[in-house]
Amino acid sequence: MSAPKTLYDKIWDAHVAHEADDGTCLLYIDRHLVHEVTSPQAFEGLRMAGRNVRAPNKTIAVPDHNVPTTEDRVKGIDNEESRIQVDALDANAKEFGIHYYPVSDVRQGIVHIVGPEQGWTLPGMTVVCGDSHTATHGAFGSLAHGIGTSEVEHVLATQTLIQKKSKNMKVEITGALRPGVTAKDITMNVIGKTGTAGGTGYVIEYCGQAIEDLSMEGRMTVCNMAIEGGARAGLIAPDQKTFDYCYGRPNAPKGSDWDLALSNWKELYTDENAYFDLTITIKGEDIAPSVTWGTSPEDVLPIDAVVPSPDDFKGGKVDAVKRALDYMGLEPGQKLSDVEIDTVFIGSCTNGRIEDLRAAAEILKGQKIKDGMRAMVVPGSGLVRAQAEEEGLAQIFIDAGFEWRMAGCSMCLAMNPDQLAPEERCAATSNRNFEGRQGRGGRTHLLSPAMAAAAAVTGKLTDIRTFVGVA
């Protein structure tokens, strides 16, 4: 009998096309997702070298980072550079014959939401994209990670990546979550515990009762932020929820292929006694609704905590915290639940799925956002938007005073017209609170969709457990 394997070991072993003596492998890539920002130089490289896309059928492109999210975008993109980048993706998709969802297609959206939605992402696969949040797809038990543009070109040309295997880390969230605690709080708390470099060199497998209890949407939120903990990828073993999610999707296997796939996917779990280089265990009941206070995703605390002092830290982090507090305009000792908010952003590949919109809408029923608040909901895809409209969620957002937007990355990274002004403070369901991430000088607090909705109503960071509304 062979040695027990982790889920990561199994997927890795099934995709090694070539292994050199020093352990450098050619890892075969089953799905290559492409967006407009990190791909133009890669396609140009192919053209210059007279190379082709090896597997256009395994390559899927969609513009998301640059696209405006206002309804008038059908008239075209005003910003010339953004327009050139999106036009370049249009042209490259045609020239190289890859699958493509243009801005005008209802299926367009954030690449990490479109992939699973269209059934391109399936258990046991290798998935890459020139985007660090490719980790999202690990929720299906697929090995998924971000790559740079040179690697995008390498995958386009050869359908492989030159890789060495990472180490295995297990992150177990035991027991049940308390009311008001979400997948977002889980993933932020893991980063709070490991630090943003804690996962460097590892692939994380998330497991435990609290992970099993999550929906596929929640699992995608957890895996999405694996990269913020420095990990190459995050994985969750597929189960019946995963199979049910995949079944019937446009690009999922059908008929006898489905049966064969299913029997294969049921082998995708970590064997008993498989070796993990590192194991971290967190009790689900210990996780509180959380929010970030600084400029790194590791700067996370329960909503009922106070802003820390630089003196609470050691080493290089002391100066980093001083700088972060200055940037964020916060004082040590200030209660997080007293921090006033100018803007609320609900969306992104972290929290732009239907379940996220349902959670936010649930809070906003019969409520109004605070006077002067700027609040927007940006569905992760055109199909999420359509479903939210059908379920009546869109009307709840609009009645509450939110802007109801078209699909795209929007204010998560401000490469499009949705940006913060200097010192504008935003409660955001996205994934990065870096300096300038949402606009130069903009201040970002990361939190869950329900917490973001509550902040829009009260005008400040709000403990969802005690939120009773204003109406």
Partner 1 sequence: MEKFTNVSGVAAPMPLVNIDTDMIIPKQFLKTIKRSGLGVNLFDEMRYNQDGSEISEFVLNQAAYRNAEIIIAGENFGCGSSREHAPWALKDFGISVVISESFADIFYSNCFKNGILPIKLSKEAIEVLMDDASKGENARISIDLEEQTVSATDGTIFKFEVDAFKKHCLLNGLDDIGLTYQKIESVDQFEKKQAKITPWL
Please say which residue, 18 or 335, places its beta carbon nearer to partner 1: 18
Q: CB 425 → partner 1: shortest distance, Å?
A: 18
- Answer yes or no: is 412 a known binding residue: yes
User: How far is 3 from 454, CA to CA, in rounded Å?
Assistant: 50
List 26, 169, 204, 236, residue binding partner 1 (CB under 8 A): 26
194 binds partner 1 (CB under 8 A): no
446 binds partner 1 (CB under 8 A): no
Please say which residue, 197 or 470, places its beta carbon nearer to partner 1: 197
List 110, 191, 413, 457, residue binding partner 1 (CB under 8 A): 413
448 binds partner 1 (CB under 8 A): no
Tokens of 94: 């045609």
User: How far is 208 from 219, CA to CA, in rounded Å?
Assistant: 12
Q: Residue 372: what residue type? A: G
CA atoms within 13 A on the CB side of 41: 8
435 binds partner 1 (CB under 8 A): yes
Please say which residue, 192 or 459, places its beta carbon nearer to partner 1: 192
What residues have CB less than 8 Å from 383, skipping those under 6 apart? 106, 107, 109, 117
User: How far is 364 from 349, CA to CA, in rounded Å?
Assistant: 21
Listed residue (451, 168, 169) closest to 304, CA to CA: 451
**Start-end of H helices in 27-135:** 40-49, 80-96, 111-117
How distant is the alpha carbon of residue 32 from its chain centre? 17
Site for partner 1 in 32-91 (CB under 8 A): 37-38, 40-41, 44, 49, 51, 58, 65-66, 79, 81-82, 84-85, 88
Cα torsion 368, 372, 373, 374: sign: positive
Please say which residue, 70 or 79, places its beta carbon nearer to partner 1: 79
Q: Which SS3 state, helix, strand or coil, does residue 277 take?
A: coil
Q: CB 72 → partner 1: shortest distance, Å?
A: 20
List 9, 153, 172, 205, residue binding partner 1 (CB under 8 A): 153
Residue tagged 């109503």 (tokens): 457
- Answer yes or no: is 426 a known binding residue: no
List 10, 112, 432, 443, residue binding partner 1 (CB under 8 A): 432
- Answer yes or no: is 129 a known binding residue: no
Binding flags for partner 1, 351-390, as an x/- string (CB under 8 A): ----------------------------------------
Binding flags for partner 1, 269-288, as an x/- string (CB under 8 A): --------------------
List 115, 116, 130, 234, residue binding partner 1 (CB under 8 A): 130
Site for partner 1 in 322-351 (CB under 8 A): 323
Q: CB 395 → partner 1: shortest distance, Å?
A: 33
Binding flags for partner 1, 208-237, as an x/- string (CB under 8 A): ----------------------xxx-----
Contacts 24+ apart (CB under 8 A), 198-202: 198/229, 198/230, 199/169, 199/226, 199/229, 199/230, 199/231, 199/232, 200/230, 200/231, 201/166, 201/167, 201/232, 202/166, 202/167, 202/168, 202/169, 202/230, 202/231, 202/232, 202/277, 202/278
Q: CB 442 → partner 1: shortest distance, Å?
A: 11
174 binds partner 1 (CB under 8 A): no
CA atoms within 13 A on the CB side of 232: 19
Q: Which residue ranges are tagged as binding site for [4Fe-4S] cluster?
A: 349, 409, 412
